[in-house]
Chain A
Amino acid sequence: MLEQLISLAWIIAKILIIVLPLLGVVAYLTMAERKVIAYMQYRVGVNRVGIRGIGQPIADAMKLIFKEIIIPKASNRYLFILAPILAMTPALVAWSVVPFDDGWVLANVNAGVLFIFAMTSIGIYGIICAGWGSNSKYAFFSAMRVAAQMVSYEIAMGFALVGVLIAAGSMNFTDIVHAQSGSVLHWYWLPLLPLFVVYWVSGLAETNRAPFDVAEGESEIVAGFHVEYSGMTFAMFFLAEYANMILISSLAVLMFLGGWLSPFQGIPLLESTFNWVPGIVWFAAKASLFLYLYLWIRATFPRYRYDQIMRLGWKVLIPVTLVWIFVVALAVQFHLPPWFA
Chain B
Amino acid sequence: MSNIQNYTLNFGPQHPAAHGVLRLVLELDGEVILRADPHIGLLHRATEKLAESKPYNQSIGYMDRLDYVSMMCNEHAYVLAIEKLLGITAPVRAQYIRVLFDEMTRIMNHLLWLGAHAIDIGAMTVFLYCFREREDLMDCYEAVSGARMHATYYRPGGVYRDLPDQMPKYKATQWRSDDEIKERNQDRHGSLLDFIWAFTERFPKFVDEYETLLTDNRIWKQRTVDIGVVSPEQALALGFTGPMLRGSGVEWDLRKKQPYEVYDQIDFKIPIGKNGDCYDRYLVRVEEMRQSNEIMRQCIRWLKNNAGPVIHPDHKITPPSREEMKEDMESMIHHFKLFTEGYSVPAGEAYAAVEHPKGEFGVYMISDGANKPYRVKIRAAGFSHLAALDSMVRGHMIADMVAVLSSQDIVFGEIDR
Chain A residues with CB under 8 Å of chain B are 37, 40-43, 137-138, 141, 210-211, 213-214, 217-222, 299-308
The total of interchain contacts (Cβ-Cβ below 8 angstroms) comes to 79
Q: Give every chain A residue within 8 A of B213 (Cβ-Cβ).
A: 300
A301 touches B399 (CB 8 A): no
Q: Give every chain B residue within 8 A of A210 (Cβ-Cβ).
A: 122
Other A-B pairs, 12, CB within 8 Å; known A218-B17, A308-B219: A37-B125, A41-B124, A42-B132, A211-B219, A218-B16, A219-B17, A302-B121, A302-B220, A303-B122, A303-B123, A305-B400, A308-B222
A-contacting residues, B1-52, CB 8 Å: 7, 9-10, 15-17, 31
Question: Is B303 at the interface (CB under 8 A from chain A)?
Answer: no
CA distance A138 to B12 in the complex (A): 12
CA distance A301 to B183 in the complex (A): 31
Choice from B125, B217, B222 contacting A40 with Cβ under 8 Å: B125
B222 touches A42 (CB 8 A): no
Contact with A along B40-69 (1 / 0, CB 8 A): 000000000000000000000000000000
A-contacting residues, B351-406, CB 8 Å: 397-400, 402
Question: Is B147 at the interface (CB under 8 A from chain A)?
Answer: no
CA distance A219 to B12 in the complex (A): 11
B17 touches A220 (CB 8 A): yes
CA distance A162 to B187 in the complex (A): 59
Question: Is B181 at the interface (CB under 8 A from chain A)?
Answer: no
State the 3 A-B residue pairs at the shortest beta-carbon distance, nearest first.
Answer: A303-B122, A41-B128, A302-B123
CA distance A306 to B214 in the complex (A): 19
B128 touches A221 (CB 8 A): no
Q: Give every chain B residue within 8 A of A300 (Cβ-Cβ).
A: 123, 125, 213
Q: Which residue of A lies closest to B220 (CB)?
A: A302
Say whether, besides A220-B402, A307-B397, A301 and B16 are in contact (CB < 8 Å): no
Q: Which residue of A lies closest to B132 (CB)?
A: A42
Question: Is B119 at the interface (CB under 8 A from chain A)?
Answer: yes
Say whether, besides A219-B119, A220-B402, A306-B399, A301 and B15 are in contact (CB < 8 Å): no
Question: Is B129 at the interface (CB under 8 A from chain A)?
Answer: yes
Say whether, besides A137-B9, A214-B399, A220-B398, A301 and B123 are in contact (CB < 8 Å): yes
Q: Give every chain B residue within 8 A of A41 (Cβ-Cβ).
A: 124-125, 128-129
Chain B contact-residue range equals 20 to 34
Choice from B9, B222, B397, B402 contacting A219 with Cβ under 8 Å: B402
Instruction: Pick the most buried of B124, B128, B132: most chain A CB atoms within 10 A of its CB.
Output: B124
Contact with A along B117-157 (1 / 0, CB 8 A): 01111111100110010000000000000000000000000
Choice from A42, A217, A222 contacting B399 with Cβ under 8 Å: A217
A-contacting residues, B222-255, CB 8 Å: 222-223
CA distance A43 to B124 in the complex (A): 13
CA distance A141 to B397 in the complex (A): 12
Contact with A along B154-196 (1 / 0, CB 8 A): 0000000000000000000000000000000000000000000
Q: Give every chain B residue within 8 A of A308 (Cβ-Cβ).
A: 219, 222-223
A42 touches B122 (CB 8 A): no
Task: Name 12 A/B residue pairs within 8 A (Cβ), A-sorted.
Answer: A41-B125, A42-B129, A137-B9, A218-B17, A219-B120, A220-B402, A299-B124, A299-B125, A300-B125, A302-B123, A302-B214, A304-B219
CA distance A20 to B17 in the complex (A): 38
Q: How far is the CB of A76 from chain B (nearest CB, A)?
A: 19
Choice from A213, A302, A305 contacting B397 with Cβ under 8 Å: A305
CA distance A302 to B217 in the complex (A): 9
B16 touches A303 (CB 8 A): no
CA distance A301 to B118 in the complex (A): 10
A222 touches B15 (CB 8 A): yes
A211 touches B398 (CB 8 A): no
Q: How far is the CB of B10 from chain A (nearest CB, A)?
A: 8
Q: Give every chain B residue within 8 A of A213 (Cβ-Cβ).
A: 122
Q: Give every chain B residue within 8 A of A211 (Cβ-Cβ).
A: 122, 219
CA distance A304 to B219 in the complex (A): 6
CA distance A302 to B127 in the complex (A): 12
Q: Which residue of B lies closest to A214 (CB)?
A: B399
Q: Give every chain B residue within 8 A of A301 (Cβ-Cβ).
A: 122-123, 217, 219
Q: Give every chain A residue within 8 A of B31 (Cβ-Cβ).
A: 141, 306
Q: Which residue of B lies closest to A307 (CB)?
A: B397
Q: How far is the CB of A45 from chain B (nearest CB, A)?
A: 11
A303 touches B129 (CB 8 A): no
A302 touches B9 (CB 8 A): no
